[in-house]
Amino acid sequence: MPLLERILVPVDFSERSLGAVRYVEALAAAPRTCELTLVHVTTPVTYELSALDVGGTVLAELNSDRTAELREQLDGFLRESLATFHVTRVMLDGDPARRIVEYAHDNRTGLIVMPTHGYGLFRRFLLGSVTAKVLHDADCPVWTGVHIDEAPAVEGIRFRKVMVAVDLCPAQALKAIAWGSKFAEEYGAEMEIAHAYPSLEGRGGDEVAGWRENATRAAGDEIAKMQQKLGVDAPVVLEAGDPAAVVTNLAVRKQADVLVIGRGSAAGVFGRLRANAYAIIRQSPCPVVSV
């Protein structure tokens, strides 16, 4: 089964949505046969008009008119550019994050592609609440990034270098390496594995040097065991320092096109690397896939 047989894209018709769809077009381009689902989630106007004396009949008519307008907008969204793809367009209502996660689970989605909500001067410091909740609750990989709305034209998107950032928690690291390896194989990309271990900056002496040597050896051995278990043989880069800074700096230096990180599907983002997941997403120069 292809890795990305079904891709879900939540859309709000903004520039950020346009950028997300460009990446999806590149991911689903021939000879692949991905099923694309564009989802727009509406919220009833009841809450918005709660301070006004508006009757139930009027509210029902307003909701009906609004739903019809949004349905028309969704049906026409990028219709020409997506004409060659198998696309399903779905309207849902309710809490956006919950409905996106539920739909992805019920329809065995392989990947959710969505932008972060950060933009402008503060884009590096923000992560939209909907994206954060989907990252926390989704049981499939989520592809996101603060630069998605700046996606180049589809023909300019390449997947040549995949970087997989891991901590030493086998359950999550194995998932990330396996997903990254499969993605690299299907898209003809190179894969490299990155790991950040604690820094003892400012301290010297033979004792510290020995600790650093032991730390790198232990990390290298653990990652080698994981690769052997998965039948993967990718280069490994080990560097000391803050995980988010190390990972994102490596992504820049190595010119990564995709950065893969592990996360907990049931308990949210946790662990040494995963505790830095939001920072990695905010600072990454390329899209981040949280597995």
**Do the two domains 1-157 and 158-291 of this chain adopt the same fold?**
yes
Q: What is the pTM of this model?
A: 0.87
User: Smallest Cα–Cα separation from 151: which of 26, 282, 35?
Assistant: 26
Angle at 177 between CA 172 and CA 179, to 5 degrees: 95
Architecture, CATH, for domain 158-291: 3-Layer(aba) Sandwich (3.40)
d(CA 271, CA 277): 10
- Are 264 and 274 in contact, with CB atoms under 8 Å apart? yes
**Residue among 251, 262, 269 at smallest CA distance from 290:** 262
Strand partners, 164: 193, 260
Query: Would you state the pLDDT for residue 146?
Result: 87
pLDDT digits (tens, 9 = 90+) for 259-289: 999 875 443 433 445 568 888 998 999 999 9
- Map tokens 């049931």 to a residue: 266
Specify whether the backbone of 56 is left (phi greater than 0), alpha (psi in -120 to 50) or beta: alpha
Is the pLDDT confidence value at 21 over 90? yes
| Assigned token pair, 203 | 């301290």
- Listed in sequence order, the residues at least 6 apart from 31 whose beta carbon sits closer than 8 Å to its beta carbon are none
Q: Are 42 and 67 in contact (CB under 8 A)?
A: yes
Q: Give the homologous superfamily in CATH for domain 1-157.
A: HUPs (3.40.50.620)
- What type of residue sits at position 110? G
Q: Worst-scoring range by mean pLDDT, 118-122, 141-145, 182-186?
A: 118-122
Provide the residue ranges of all domains of the chain, joining segments of one domain with +: 1-157, 158-291
pLDDT tens for 83-115 read 999 999 999 999 999 999 999 999 999 999 998
Number of H helices, E strands in the chain: 8, 10
